């Protein structure tokens, strides 16, 4: 069996090998909508959502669109207090796959005892996972973890999680103290893969199919969570999937421009004009780099304060610039 032609199996469900990783403030509903234009059946994680937020806020605040397919809804908790009530609300929205975050390194999260701080307190971690498992009967439950909090204990934690009924793991092989810096320890992921029988996915440092192939050869992992490489490239999962089976992938400038406008429109619909444009600008730099837009024009686009002004400026200068480039290329003699 060719690994790249086969599926990732979690529980009784099958998914592609390339998965949208959770990125706070990035992989929200508008962006997931864009990813699905290119990868309709790709598994996508939501942004992290804390249990108390789920209990006290409406689903739109969680970033959840009822009925959205192929979703792994990511939850976080520091203790058992809100887990049952939060799970009830999540399940009422039709969610059938939940991820528990014990890997977030961000200070606002770990200062509350959640995220990767749980890996530094095994007894509390065990209690939290047991509670989640009991509150999610019949649902797929995964865990996204790190190499450890201050010290590497990922193998111990992974074996414990398997024993507690977790269906699959995703390992970001850096300590909390490393954040997103330094070379990920893919050998550690390989050791975990060999020591547990549930699927093991990896995140961190994978920005191309070449990276994924190298990490697979080192570790034998079952799947790849793609995070920062998604920024401004909602087609990257589809591109990696195509390249993994030897298919060519080309993203022409007019396709990129069309995707850019659709992304902006989706953000405005979800967040409103002001917040939507502000969020969309997080992706703008990468979009413009792929279009070859100069720094000066990029700065002017970033200064715009409403979607209409952005579109007008873009069409006035960028679209004309792209059209000129395409015309010049069409006149070249090879």
The residues spanned by each domain of the chain are 3-244, 253-330
**Residue 333 binned pLDDT confidence (cut-offs 50, 70, 90):** very low
Q: What's the confidence (pLDDT) of residue 325?
A: 54
When the candidates are 3.30.70.420, 3.60.110.10, 3.20.20.70, 3.10.150.10, the CATH number that belongs to 3-244 is 3.20.20.70
Q: What's the confidence (pLDDT) of residue 331?
A: 41
- Residue 317 per-residue DSSP state: I
Are 249 and 239 contacting, i.e. CB atoms less than 8 angstroms apart? yes
First to last CA, the chain: 43
Burial class (CB in 10 A: 0-12, 13-18, 19+), 99: buried
pLDDT exceeds cutoff 60 at 326: no
pLDDT in tens, 240-267: 999 999 999 999 998 999 999 999 999 9
What DSSP string runs through 17-44? SEEEPP-TTTSSHHHHHHHHHH-TT--E
**Residue 59 binned pLDDT confidence (cut-offs 50, 70, 90):** confident
pLDDT exceeds cutoff 70 at 327: no
Burial class (CB in 10 A: 0-12, 13-18, 19+), 246: exposed
Q: What's the confidence (pLDDT) of residue 1?
A: 62
Q: Which two tokens stand for residue 88?
A: 């009830």
**Residue 180 binned pLDDT confidence (cut-offs 50, 70, 90):** confident
- How many Cα atoms are found within 13 Å in the side-chain-facing hemisphere of 247? 11
pLDDT in tens, 114-167: 999 999 999 999 999 999 999 999 999 999 999 999 999 999 999 999 999 999
- Residue 152 per-residue DSSP state: B
Q: What's the confidence (pLDDT) of residue 321?
A: 58
| Residue 130 C-alpha from the chain's centroid | 25
Q: Does an H or E element contain 76, and which?
A: strand 71-76
């Amino acid at each position: 069996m060719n690994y790249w032609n086969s599926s990732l199996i979690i529980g009784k469900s099958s998914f592609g090998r390339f998965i949208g990783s959770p990125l706070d403030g990035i992989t929200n509903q508008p962006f997931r909508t864009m990813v699905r234009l290119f990868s309709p059946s790709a598994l996508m994680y939501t942004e992290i959502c804390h249990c108390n937020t789920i209990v006290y806020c409406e689903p739109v605040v969680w970033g959840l669109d009822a009925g959205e397919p192929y979703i792994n809804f990511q939850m976080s908790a520091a203790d058992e207090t809100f887990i049952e009530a939060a799970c009830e609300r999540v399940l009422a929205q039709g969610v059938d796959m939940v991820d528990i975050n014990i890997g977030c390194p961000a200070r606002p999260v770990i200062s509350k005892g959640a995220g990767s701080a749980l890996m530094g307190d095994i007894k509390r971690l065990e209690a939290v996972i047991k509670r989640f498992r009991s509150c999610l009967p019949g649902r797929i439950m995964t865990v996204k973890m790190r190499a450890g909090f201050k010290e590497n204990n990922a193998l111990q934690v992974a074996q414990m999680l398997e024993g507690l009924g977790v269906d699959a793991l995703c390992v970001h092989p850096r300590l909390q103290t490393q954040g997103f810096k330094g070379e990920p320890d893919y050998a550690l992921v390989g050791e975990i893969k060999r020591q547990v029988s549930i699927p093991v996915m990896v995140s961190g440092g994978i920005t191309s199919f070449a990276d994924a192939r190298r990490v697979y050869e080192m570790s034998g992992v079952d799947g790849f969570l793609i995070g920062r490489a998604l920024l401004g490239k909602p087609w990257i999962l589809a591109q990696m999937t195509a390249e993994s089976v030897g298919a060519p992938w080309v993203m022409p400038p007019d396709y990129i421009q069309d995707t850019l406008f659709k992304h902006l429109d989706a953000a405005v619909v979800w967040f409103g004009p002001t917040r939507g444009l502000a969020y969309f600008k997080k992706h703008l730099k990468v979009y413009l780099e792929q279009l070859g837009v100069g720094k000066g024009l990029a700065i002017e686009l970033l200064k715009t304060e409403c979607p209409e002004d952005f579109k007008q400026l873009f069409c006035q200068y960028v679209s004309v610039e792209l059209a000129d480039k395409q015309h010049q290329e069409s006149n070249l003699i090879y």
